[in-house]
Structure 1
Amino acid sequence: MSAPIIVWLRRDLRLADQPAFRAAAARGPVIPVYVLDDESPRYRRMGAASRWWLHHSLARLAADLEQAGSRLILRRGRSENVLSALAVESGAHEVHALHHVEPWWRNAERAVRKALDLQLHQGIYLAPPGSVLTGGGTPFKIYTPFWRALQERMPPAPPLPAPKLTAPEAWPNSDRLEDWQLLPTHPDWAGGMRAEWTPGEAGAAERLETFARRAARYAERRNLPAMLGTSRLSPHLHFGEVSPAQVWHGVANAGGSVDVFLGELGWRDYAANVIHQFPDYAAHSYKEEFERLPWRTGPEAEADLKAWQQGRTGYPIVDAGMRELWATGWMHNRVRMIVASFLIKHLLIDWRRGEEWFWDTLVDADYAQNAVNWQWSAGSGVDANMFVRIMAPLTQSPKFDAAGYIREWVPELAGLGDAEIHDPGLLRPRGYPAKIVEHTEGRARALAAHAAMKAV
């Protein structure tokens, strides 16, 4: 039997339409390995919600591999060290993997390549990051022309089925998933996540099939948080339980406004394109002037940040979104924009504090999209909303018919009518907080800070 081939897994936890598995299977026996590497990312190690998802996704992948006559090997440590040791143990010389755009994974890929024959494949995005270029051969910075150029390369190749895997003569030892302690215990805060999500390739396929039946009405429903209008595919895409090509081909013929949804897939590629150019995008404002903006700090700002995190701001639409996030690890996209704008502008708290909270609490916490979306809201990004364009939560809430959404997530207000629930005012029930800042006050403070930044 030929030497085994290692498939190094990260955010690509599927068997179908997975080029690394397919390439390795064509060359010999396959050893699938997931390395829990908290050393390479350092402070960018996965947050708590992502680790919950990872546990269940790995358990599902392990079961799928067992059914296919294979196994999932689990190891923990720095990727290059773990893979080098595994290669010695197993006699493997080749490692196949999908290329990742996050800066720590790019560094890890370079380190692995120094020690082993690393073969990288594409399969996380619609097009390889950095490959969609302007007529002058440079990467795009603005989404709209990027999306036009990406569309010229669409549709992606049809997805391929899972390959037949051959087992090696002997399996290397594996960690026990339970020993990694990825799940919360004291307290167990994941009950809402268990009720909402089914991690794994089968769960992703079911979610895609369900969304395909209503994708034609995506544009008219996607901004209504009380309605099931979005795909909820984001965590499945993030962990690679479904490929973007599978999603594209799964909905492309739905008709109606499905093109709007395909544009959101394009935004995912666009975010990767930004991170490919600016790897530290989550740490520094792209527009340098925003490093001079006088963000609020100190005890009062910290108290406001905590109120925002807990959904206790006195703004029902904001509080509903933050409570949905804490309970389910996910938040409706329109509400994400509202709560981000509120933190940045009404509370004048640095966008990076919000990005950090989302990184820890979102099951779809994606380095590229999280950073790009927060800098879009702050107005500091390469392609961003203007800082002076301040969302008014009390207007956004009735505009997008959020009464039912608020009743679900802010039960203190459930007894109020549709006319009052968006802004309870004096009807505020006992136990629900007063506004931590009035809209006019927060808006004026934000505009003054922006003017001060511009005056320097």
Structure 2
Amino acid sequence: MRIVWFRQDLRCQDHPALSEAAQKGEVLPLYILNDTHPGKWVMGEASRLWLHHSLKALSDSFNGHLAFYKGDPLNILPQLIKETGAEGVYWNRCYEPWAITRDKKLKEHLKKEGLDVQSFNGSLLWEPWETTKGDGTPYKVFTPFYKTSCLKGEPPRTPLPKPTLTCAPLPPSSLTLNAIDLLPKKPWGKEVFSGWEPGEAGAEKRWEIFLKEGLKGYKVGRDLPAQAHVSRLSPHLHFGEISPHQLWADVSKIEEGHDTNHFLSELGWREFSHNLLYHFPSLPEKNLQEKFDRFQWKKDPKLLKAWQTGHTGYPFVDAGMRELYATGYMHNRMRMVVGSFLVKNLLLHWHEGEAWFWDCLFDADLANNSASWQWIGGCGADAAPYFRIFNPITQGEKFDPQGDYTRKYVPELAKLSDKYLFRPWEAPEEILEQAGIVLGKDYPLPIVDLKASREEALAAFERIKEK
């Protein structure tokens, strides 16, 4: 009997560890909730909520034969092997720094005990050590990484079919899903699942809908938050409910065009982020561009709270932040807009945004979250230049021209005309009265001046350039 240790691969289709173990005999599927690793990166509330429901779906697919434990895998797995008499442990690799260290230590220990221990690639199209430059150093710019290492390298493997397997009986020490205590204690989350279906079946449904309704027009439509041209697969991908190999294979069968090429390049961005985390394990905490260590960030709890809750006085920013809290998700265009506003208009550290997203996003992923916040902050790899500052007024007018997205999440402005929707402070009193809005009461006045805050940010950037 082999133990298959599930982590961020909560599926049966295209699961290398499960497929290999199924060929050796009985399988004991296992999940260990590990809140013991060092550092601050214990799962946030949204991730825990999603994980609970995803594990329920995975357990159902094994007819309840998924064993649950809570604690340090370095202690739990050796004890479980003694209890069950397992001959080996198989898993798919994770790429967070602490996971790499732990898994290496665990593999060495179990192999010394004479166990069959194997790890596989179930999460990435290419291993990070396979996509380096010719001299063995990692890429820091996306385009050559994607065009050279991805498109011109070995193509991704063919997805594996769902294996036929026999599950071993649950060991007596196994806990229940409820006993590992994932569900949030606060009321948040009761209605947040509207439109979401965690688990492998939900991921496959989401993917089928996107292929039929969203892929055509994706390149342009993905920038319009009111339209259904994004896949919304990021939580499913993070928890491994669907394999990137399946996505790549399915899209590669479709006639090549701007939309298919752009979607594949977005999978490439995901690979790039994981490569950065693998080669630069301090990515979540340290600026890749060291000159930003001298940047003079502000500390202002009131400004931060206004941003977190969607009360900045800039409707397009507020719509994005409210979408995040209401749904556990934020459209990609909005992530760039709200990120730029936090870092470059409020001059608050990108760590503040990173931490809030970590707690609120269903798709909170260490590699994607860290790389993306460094990108928007101008301090990371292939980063947007610091002087590129998104204007939330013009961004709203360009990407939400009818205001459908903004009015959905900022309903107090629903009756305001398109002309003033993204700049309500400019509306004449009679227009505000007709819309039933008293600024400062029904909707906040802007918490910063866009022009002045932009100039302040650019001046701060010039200071770190001069040193």
Determine the C-alpha separation between the residues in 1 that align with 2:181 and 2:30.
18
The equivalent of 1:348 in structure 2 is: 347
Partner-residue secondary structure (3-state), 1:59 = helix
After superposition, residues 261-276 of structure 1 pair within 5 angstroms as 261-276=263-278
8 Å CA contact 2:28–2:170 kept in 1: the answer is no
Determine the C-alpha separation between the residues in 2 that align with 1:74 and 1:202.
21
Offset of 1:185 from its aligned partner?
Answer: 4.0
The equivalent of 1:61 in structure 2 is: 58
State the one-letter code of the partner of 2:450: H
After superposition, residues 94-113 of structure 1 pair within 5 angstroms as 94-113=88-107
Offset of 1:445 from its aligned partner?
Answer: 1.0
- Flag the 1:167–1:453 CA change in 2: closer, same or farther, 3 A: same
State the one-letter code of the partner of 1:276: Y
Determine the C-alpha separation between the residues in 1 that align with 2:345 and 2:98.
34
The equivalent of 2:114 in structure 1 is: none
> Gapped runs of 5+ residues in structure 1?
none
The equivalent of 2:140 in structure 1 is: 141
The equivalent of 1:435 in structure 2 is: 446
Partner-residue secondary structure (3-state), 2:128 = coil
Offset of 1:438 from its aligned partner?
Answer: 1.0
The equivalent of 1:393 in structure 2 is: 392
8 Å CA contact 2:65–2:169 kept in 1: the answer is no
Offset of 1:153 from its aligned partner?
Answer: 3.5
Offset of 1:352 from its aligned partner?
Answer: 0.8
The equivalent of 2:130 in structure 1 is: 131
Question: Which range is displaced more, 110-119 or 395-404?
Answer: 110-119
Spell out, residue by residue over 1:115-146, the C-alpha distance to the aligned partner (whole angstroms, 9 max, x if none).
Answer: 21331101101111221122223322211011
Partner-residue secondary structure (3-state), 2:50 = helix
Determine the C-alpha separation between the residues in 2 that align with 1:8 and 1:230.
31
After superposition, residues 29-44 of structure 1 pair within 5 angstroms as 29-44=26-41
After superposition, residues 276-355 of structure 1 pair within 5 angstroms as 276-297=278-299, 301-355=300-354
Offset of 1:251 from its aligned partner?
Answer: 2.6
- Flag the 1:42–1:240 CA change in 2: closer, same or farther, 3 A: same
The equivalent of 1:454 in structure 2 is: 465
After superposition, residues 196-211 of structure 1 pair within 5 angstroms as 196-211=195-210
Partner-residue secondary structure (3-state), 1:212 = helix
Determine the C-alpha separation between the residues in 1 that align with 2:157 and 2:54.
25
Offset of 1:160 from its aligned partner?
Answer: 1.7
8 Å CA contact 1:84–1:115 kept in 2: the answer is no
8 Å CA contact 1:215–1:254 kept in 2: the answer is no
- Flag the 1:316–1:154 CA change in 2: closer, same or farther, 3 A: farther
Offset of 1:28 from its aligned partner?
Answer: 1.9
The equivalent of 1:231 in structure 2 is: 231
- Flag the 1:169–1:184 CA change in 2: closer, same or farther, 3 A: closer
Offset of 1:169 from its aligned partner?
Answer: 6.0
The equivalent of 1:195 in structure 2 is: 194
The equivalent of 1:48 in structure 2 is: 45
State the one-letter code of the partner of 1:420: Y
8 Å CA contact 2:288–2:381 kept in 1: the answer is yes
Determine the C-alpha separation between the residues in 1 that align with 2:317 and 2:189.
21
8 Å CA contact 1:221–1:227 kept in 2: the answer is yes
Offset of 1:361 from its aligned partner?
Answer: 0.5
State the one-letter code of the partner of 2:265: G
Determine the C-alpha separation between the residues in 1 that align with 2:229 and 2:170.
48
The equivalent of 1:419 in structure 2 is: 419
Determine the C-alpha separation between the residues in 1 that align with 2:38 and 2:87.
25
Determine the C-alpha separation between the residues in 2 that align with 1:433 and 1:253.
50
Determine the C-alpha separation between the residues in 1 that align with 2:405 and 2:168.
52
Offset of 1:451 from its aligned partner?
Answer: 1.6
Question: Which range is displaced more, 446-455 or 54-63?
Answer: 446-455
Partner-residue secondary structure (3-state), 2:118 = strand
Partner-residue secondary structure (3-state), 1:160 = coil
Partner-residue secondary structure (3-state), 2:129 = coil
State the one-letter code of the partner of 2:251: V
What is the root-mean-square deviation in Å for CA atoms of aligned residues?
Answer: 1.5
Offset of 1:440 from its aligned partner?
Answer: 0.4
Offset of 1:172 from its aligned partner?
Answer: 4.3
Offset of 1:161 from its aligned partner?
Answer: 1.5
Are 2:177 and 1:177 equivalent residues in the alignment? yes
Between the aligned residues of both structures, percent identity stands at 45
Determine the C-alpha separation between the residues in 1 that align with 2:132 and 2:362.
31
The equivalent of 2:15 in structure 1 is: 18
The equivalent of 1:258 in structure 2 is: 260
The equivalent of 2:404 in structure 1 is: 404
Offset of 1:275 from its aligned partner?
Answer: 0.6
State the one-letter code of the partner of 1:381: G
Determine the C-alpha separation between the residues in 1 that align with 2:339 and 2:136.
34
Determine the C-alpha separation between the residues in 2 that align with 1:309 and 1:94.
46
Question: Which range is displaced more, 35-44 or 164-173?
Answer: 164-173
8 Å CA contact 1:15–1:21 kept in 2: the answer is yes
Spell out, residue by residue over 1:69-114, the C-alpha distance to the aligned partner (whole angstroms, 9 max, x if none).
Answer: x710000001111111111111113110011110111111022113
8 Å CA contact 1:413–1:421 kept in 2: the answer is yes
